[in-house]
Structures are given as structure tokens and as C-alpha cells.
């Protein structure tokens, strides 16, 4: 995720918002309890139009 964010940032985009898109419960074979994984929806806006 960090690499993709850095590419967007270098192209003039900035993170402008985030919200929860999905919540997934995961239980592995050797796990004693489930874990919750939050999948976000990220919104970006262009901050520097000249960096296309």
C-alpha cells in the first residue's frame, strides 16, 4: 500500500478522506479466535495539476 500511495503522491494527489468499506472476520486453522480486518475506501484529490 505504501508504494502505491507514494506513486499517487508523486503525481500530485493527496488523501482527502477515508471510510470503512467492508469488515471481514478471519479465522485461520491454528487461530484461537477470529480477527477483524477493516477494508477502507480511500479518496484522493489532485493537489498539483501541473504534476500530471
Q: CB of 46 within 8 A of CB of 19?
A: no
What is the sign, positive or negative, of the torsion defined by CA atoms of 18, 22, 25, 26? negative
Residue 29 pLDDT > 70:
yes
pLDDT of residue 50: 62
Q: What pLDDT score does 2 carry?
A: 86
Q: What is the pTM of this model?
A: 0.67
13-28 average pLDDT score: 95
Note whether 8 and 44 are within 8 A (CB): yes
With pLDDT > 90 as the criterion, what percentage of the chain qualifies?
A: 75
pLDDT value, residue 34: 94
Rounded CA separation 25/4 (Å): 25
What pLDDT score was predicted for residue 28? 87
Amino acid at each position: 500500500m505504501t508504494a502505491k500511495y507514494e506513486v499517487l503522491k508523486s503525481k500530485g494527489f493527496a488523501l482527502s478522506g477515508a471510510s470503512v468499506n467492508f469488515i471481514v472476520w478471519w479465522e485461520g486453522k491454528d487461530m484461537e479466535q477470529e480477527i477483524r480486518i477493516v477494508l477502507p475506501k480511500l479518496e484522493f484529490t489532485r493537489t498539483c495539476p501541473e504534476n500530471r
